[in-house]
Amino acid sequence: MTVSRRLFFALWPDDTTRRALAAEAQRLAPLCGGYPLPAENMHITLAFLGNVDEARIAPLVALAQAWPALQGEWTLDRLGHFPKPRIVWAGSQASSPELMALDAELWQALARHGFTAPQRDFTPHVSLVRQADRAAPASRLPTPIRWRFDRLALVESQLDNGGSRYRTLACGVD
């Protein structure tokens, strides 16, 4: 029997950014008819890999650990809604060249390990509210949130009755 784990590469916010995102999620949940994501789960997914066989994980850990330190900043000022998965999210009106380049570089590296990039454009966002019946009443965040990112993380998603639990398996260089 082959053992697999559900993996993705992500960026985690610092504590100040996490608190600001959690406050927005709490504010928006009653307006959108859903529930706020736990603050500890808030992140930007760069590359969702899905279920990965155990034998393929060690090279991914090595890739994450060897990833050079990042120096980027992203300003979240926009709210959006994905109707099918019923998610309200925060993102940016303007494209982030740093995030776009990081996403492209990461998928190039993952291609060397047999992973294929999705056939859709990368839309950096942070999920704030799940089971949202409707979009946020405004399309802009009342106060923009600045997010400085400094390292890439390989993360495992474990699903249980309480939802998703995330465990960082490896991080890039500080």
**18, 78, 125, 130: which is the annotated catalytic residue?**
125
Distance CA 47, CA 111 (A): 11
**Of 57, 45, 159, which is closest to residue 115 (Cα–Cα)?**
57
CB 61 within 8 A of CB 142: no
**18, 43, 78, 130: which is the annotated catalytic residue?**
43
DSSP structure class, residue 85 = T
Active site residue 43: yes
CA dist 95 → 6, 41, 79, 82 (Å)? 28, 23, 14, 18
Q: Which residue is listed with tokens 């996403």?
A: 103
**Of 118, 142, 7, 13, which is closest to residue 72 (Cα–Cα)?**
13
* Cβ-based neighbour number of residue 125 at 10 Å: 19
Active site residue 125: yes
Which active-site residues does the annotation give?
43, 125
